[in-house]
Amino acid sequence: MSKVNRSSLARSFGYAFQGIGTCIREERNIKIHLTFTGLVIFFGVFLKISPLEWCICLTLFGLVLALELVNTAVEAVVDLVTEERKPLAKKAKDTAAGAVLIAAICAAAAGLVIFLPKGLRWIGVLH
């Protein structure tokens, strides 16, 4: 890889990390998702989930966080294009938010499937 391509690639990664950082600093919902990610990691270590369960959790973390970033980008672009209330602007924002919501609900459901039996065993309800 040439020096020009490497510096271009490094810049691309830099822009991506800037976008992630901006979203984390400025958006409430990604902070909520990161809090739940931290809780899942804590309980995953505590309850000793399997490698397969870790892979499922990591995939779902990535899906929800990536969709939250895309949702933020859609909202920013819509706000850049118009400050007026327009049906198409609302549709774009609402459907992007809906995508995050679906992913978060599915992640929570998968989390219950993984963690609920382990938690119930830990407190002695299940054997």
Q: Is 83 annotated as a binding residue?
A: no
Alpha helical stretches, state H, 27-86 = 28-46, 51-81
Q: Is 79 annotated as a binding residue?
A: no
Q: Is 27 annotated as a binding residue?
A: yes
Contacts of 70 (CB under 8 A, 6+ apart): 96, 99
Here the tokens at position 25 are 């600093």
Residues with a catalytic annotation lie at: 68
- Alpha-carbon distance of 30 to 20, in angstroms, equals 10
Residue 102's H or E segment, with its range, is helix 87-122
Contacts of 24 (CB under 8 A, 6+ apart): 30, 31, 34
Q: Is 93:74 a contact under the CB 8 Å cutoff?
A: yes
Q: Which residues are annotated as a binding site for substrate?
A: 6, 68
Per the annotation, binding residues for ATP are: 6, 15, 27, 75, 93-94
